[in-house]
Amino acid sequence: MNKIYIRAKNILHNYDYLWSLHPWAALFPVLKSNAYGHWLELVTKILNKTDAPYLVVDSFPEYQIVKKYSNKNILLLWETLKRNYKKFNYSRTTFCVYNIETISYLAKKNKHIKIHLFVDTGMHREWLTEDDLVNVLEFLKDYPKIEIEWVLSHFYDADNAKNNMEQQIEQFKKMYHAIVDYWYTPKRKHIWSSAWLVKMNDPFFNAYRPWLYLYWYTNLAHDDEAFELTRKLRPALTVNSRIISLREIQEWDGVSYNKTWKTDSNALIATIPFGYFEWLPRSASNKIVFNYKKQYVRQVGNVCMNLCCAKIDKWELFDQIEIIWLWWQNSIMELAKASWKSPYEILVWFDRNIRREVI
């Protein structure tokens, strides 16, 4: 009954458009968290058609999937357990590291291993402080087989146009030059979040990591000066279901648990086998629309575990109805807004049992 369509042409369009904003830099698509709910295997296959030098994942299980379906190099964004390092292909893998224990373990393997030094420029979540960085550089002087291939960091609030990112940029450059003072020459320098992709144009940075923007979504407010640049991105998925039942209710009657919505006239109510187990947040009840035969229809009543309802005028049993469509009023962005959640949260909650199909 339920299906998610992954739009390959739109993902490839977004890749090309984002690269065009910084053509001197390399683009590393981020596929973390099951490619933000889009299904890691499918998106990996789509991105095989690009010239991306690296695909980025955040865990060892995701690394195994990308390695199986792509011949591209892989960047492991977060650290992993020591026992997992025995199972990597070091010739095509680079590791983000920020713990001296991990660096020590890798160094003592006496193999050529490429690492990214993940430096802390203000997030204060993990990663290397200035003191940590000096300790790491001192340690690595005795282990020339460890290659500091890249240096990276991450903005803590690039979505907010009022926040000044210059302090973080300067901190990054300071820590980068500390690495250079130890006679290392990292090939790539990147400090990004998706929002900053359309805000920054500093040639010092020669790589960037598109996160949500690869799939179209943005946290930028409409009054942000950079928002206009995101309009050329295209949505990567649509979510479809079917009408499985119809109920006619009378004036001033309601539908679903607690009857949080009531009609002011006789109404036809369609039932759809898509609820909060599948992915649709209950907190969005009565605040969103679906697309039915190229018209918007209102979702009504509380979203249930496996069902929801919509008010429609005409119907046919088992007709297709779009839970998420390509247009703004019927998008994940509007669903996130209606349910008081971020697009990140919404995307990664898709039930893994929903069938995905590339079109």
Q: Which CATH number fits domain 8-220: 3.20.20.10, 1.10.1740.10, 3.40.50.10420, 3.20.20.70?
A: 3.20.20.10
By percentage, how much of the chain surpasses pLDDT 90? 66
Predicted pLDDT at 160: 61
For the stretch 321-341, pLDDT in tens is 999 988 778 899 899 999 999
At residue 273, the pLDDT reads 97
Considering only CA atoms, which of 241, 237, 218 is closest in space to residue 229?
Answer: 218
- Average pLDDT (64-75) is 97
Q: Are 177 and 215 in contact (CB under 8 A)?
A: no
Decide if pLDDT at 162 tops 60.
no
pLDDT tens for 112-139 read 999 999 999 888 887 899 999 999 999 9
Residues 308 and 263: their CA atoms lie apart, in Å, by: 16
Q: What is the C-alpha separation between 101 and 108, in angstroms, rounded?
A: 11
What integer pLDDT is reported at residue 171 of this predicted model?
Answer: 92
Query: What's the pLDDT band for 312 if we cut at 50, 70, 90?
Result: very high
> What is the reported pLDDT for 159?
60
Of 211 and 110, more confident: 110
**Residue 244 burial (10 A CB sphere; 0-12, 13-18, 19+):** middle
As a CATH number, domain 237-358 is: 2.40.37.10
Domain boundaries, the chain: 8-220, 237-358
d(CA 160, CA 195): 9
Confidence of residue 217 (pLDDT cuts 50, 70, 90): confident
How much is the pLDDT for 154? 84
pLDDT level of residue 164 (50, 70, 90 thresholds): low
Q: Give dist(CA 357, CA 110) in Å, integer.
A: 44
